[in-house]
Chains A and B, each alone.
Chain A
């Protein structure tokens, strides 16, 4: 419901002047995050210090960035579980370029984004033109991407990655006024995506496809090219996000860089209020969802609890977020 413009009547005057970037789910998320931060601030004195918050936002950046693409895909009622494999492949190619071929940073990042786009195109074309359910295709391509990533890795790690990538966030060189660059880029992408979804025909088409693909086609939406585009955009963001992942780590890149990331991204999107059934969603919710997920991860570690416990909380958050959404939807339908 977030960004649909279908309820023109009876809106408060402020909302009519300032189209709301945030609605129900986002307000709830901001509240939950504020409460969590307050609690963590009380129980772990170090949590609210810059040395703890900055790494948190460095880790939020790639999840939220890729989450923007995933939001596009899920709005069209699709899904992409191959993101983990694609991250691994883009990351290892970037790392190898930097280590073995000494290319400039900008070239490495561009190659990574182009590679990611190609992988996204493969998914998109198979899904849109093969007319096969997205989860099945992306489960398959996940394995294929993983295979190529492992092949390029050769041994299990890439070592001695130069520190040029630090400019994205880790350390002093990666921050301006205390804000990690990767997070700033992510926020820019989120704002651009929000504008695209809300104010352009292409953005509205994504909602239309997710709402009812047949109706959208009859209304003149080019369903298949738009679907391919959503996966390609995700691929490009995966390419950039993979660079953020390398930049957030040490100078060693591990084979497991992509493992489970697709689930973290999907969790952020879903917690952010995007409906898995398609047709409704918000990229700002996704950003907040990513912050929530990473806050839980960071908080569990700082409280000294077993780090694996974080996943239990993430699972519960997904259930609560989707559950309240379902109940709200049911109440709305009862009223109508």
Chain B
């Protein structure tokens, strides 16, 4: 249109072209991460059930097995939520030290409850508060001194892991008290309708669901949560909007430490001993936690991410891993799980990038 001609019609937004249901379904699949995850969970369940029916799996992939495997979801989802808060806060937020914090707080809990004979509740509070302090060190380095989170938590990953190993003399802490604490990880029957359903691991109710609820309320129903999203979306804008950025960024790292403290207690129950390498053995706990967060649709640049995505991503990974263990028995299964986790992380992050460019959101 040349400049001289008067506009014939009032300026209108161009009419959206009529789109088929397939195109809209694709957009929903790509922009609504929970839709994609729900579809993928169904796919995993279907594929594994078919494999099971064809007698390819070494065990049966039934509801009891799936329920029992949920025990692995407890630490995974909790640490995924810890990463959610930290990554949401933006500025390259990430917490590599969660595994080390799990190790230290696990040893703290094991020592205080199992060896020094502290009351169970006090020992738990001790472990969680210690986790909060360790997270606070991360938070202080990042928010008050201005360390890049990657480097701050890399340094504390080293330091905390070292503390856990030296404190425990590189040996697991074990005693009768800790062994009986194993019952905290046992599977239970749900009240009322439980007899019709598979047994559910107790940790889901005592640790995971409370943490999910608390994190969801914090992020979605409090001003603190809005501030975290705001400073992840645009830190400068958040400053000019009058948000006191530093204490809020500090707080997400403390939250990560507190959750790691709870996971420390969970691992003591699961292993029936406090292991100094509980959170750092193999590839450590930070990697799966970050994978869960990214798969759950959390944008690594901050400001985008939801609790529901993290929870569904955990369920997907846990049930996928459970199936892999049946399809590849023994050591092979553990290795294939590594491969699957890596492929899922690469795939999910490429997908996040594609979705962001094409639709401007996740």
Contacts and interface: CB of A to CB of B under 8 A. Distances in A.
Interface of A: 79, 126, 130-133, 135-137, 139-144, 146-147, 150-151, 263, 266-267, 270, 276-277, 306, 308-312, 314-316, 318-319, 322-323, 326, 330
Contacts of A142: 283, 287, 342
B326 interface: no
Contacts of A270: 151, 154
11 contacts: A133-B300, A137-B349, A142-B342, A146-B338, A267-B154, A270-B151, A270-B154, A308-B162, A312-B158, A316-B159, A322-B151
Nearest to A136: B349
Contacts of A150: 335, 338
A151 B345 CA distance: 20
Chain B: interface size category: 35 or more
A136 B294 contact: yes
B353 A318 contact: no
B147 interface: yes
A108 to B, nearest CB: 25
Contact of B349 (A140, A310, A319, A323): A140
Contacts of B275: none
A136 B335 CA distance: 20
A325 B353 CA distance: 32
Secondary structure at the A interface, as helix, strand, loop or mixed, is: helix
A311 B156 CA distance: 10
Nearest to A311: B162
A143 B287 contact: yes
B199 interface: no
A322 B147 contact: yes
Interface in B105-153: 141, 145-148, 150-152
Contact of A146 (B159, B283, B346, B352): B283
Contacts of A126: 346, 350
Given A140-B345, A144-B342, A319 B152 contact: yes
Interface in B275-333: 283, 287, 290-291, 294, 300-301
B61 interface: no
Given A133-B300, A310-B162, A315-B155, A326 B145 contact: yes
Interface in B135-189: 141, 145-148, 150-152, 154-163, 165-166, 169-170
B94 interface: yes
A308 B155 contact: no
Contacts of B166: 306, 308-309, 312
B339 interface: yes
B290 A139 contact: yes
B218 interface: no
Given A140-B342, A143-B341, A79 B283 contact: no
Given A308-B166, A314-B158, A135 B94 contact: yes
Given A277-B148, A315-B156, A151 B350 contact: no
B343 interface: yes
Contacts of B151: 270, 276, 318, 322
Given A132-B353, A137-B346, A308 B165 contact: yes
B346 A141 contact: yes
Given A276-B148, A309-B166, A323-B147, A139 B159 contact: no
B29 interface: no
Given A136-B300, A319-B152, A308 B342 contact: no
Contacts of A309: 162, 166
B144 to A, nearest CB: 11
B157 A139 contact: no
B155 A140 contact: no
Contacts of B344: 140
A142 B154 CA distance: 16
Contact of A306 (B157, B170, B287, B291): B170
B41 interface: no
Nearest to A130: B350
Among all A-B residue pairs, the 4 with the closest Cβ atoms: A143-B342, A315-B159, A140-B345, A315-B158
Contacts of B291: 139-140
A312 B137 CA distance: 14
A79 B150 contact: yes
A150 B283 CA distance: 13
Nearest to A320: B155
A155 to B, nearest CB: 10
A144 B301 CA distance: 24
Most-contacted residue by chain B among A141, A143, A319 (CB, 10 A): A143
Contacts of B345: 136, 139-140, 143
B158 A267 contact: yes
A267 B341 CA distance: 26
Contacts of B336: 147
A318 B341 contact: no
Nearest to B357: A131
Given A133-B349, A146-B283, A311-B161, A141 B335 contact: no
Most-contacted residue by chain A among B156, B170, B300, B339 (CB, 10 A): B339
Contact of A266 (B154, B290, B338): B154
Contacts of B349: 130, 132-133, 136-137, 140
Contacts of A312: 158-159, 162-163, 166
Given A135-B94, A312-B159, A315-B162, A151 B335 contact: yes
A9 B150 CA distance: 35
Contacts of B165: 306, 308
Contacts of B352: 132
A216 B145 CA distance: 29
A211 B162 CA distance: 34
B170 A308 contact: yes
A273 B141 CA distance: 18
A168 B352 CA distance: 44
Nearest to B352: A132
A131 B354 CA distance: 9
Contact of B154 (A132, A277, A318, A330): A318
Contacts of A308: 161-162, 165-166, 170
Contacts of A330: 146
B150 A135 contact: yes
Given A144-B343, A276-B148, A306-B165, A131 B338 contact: no
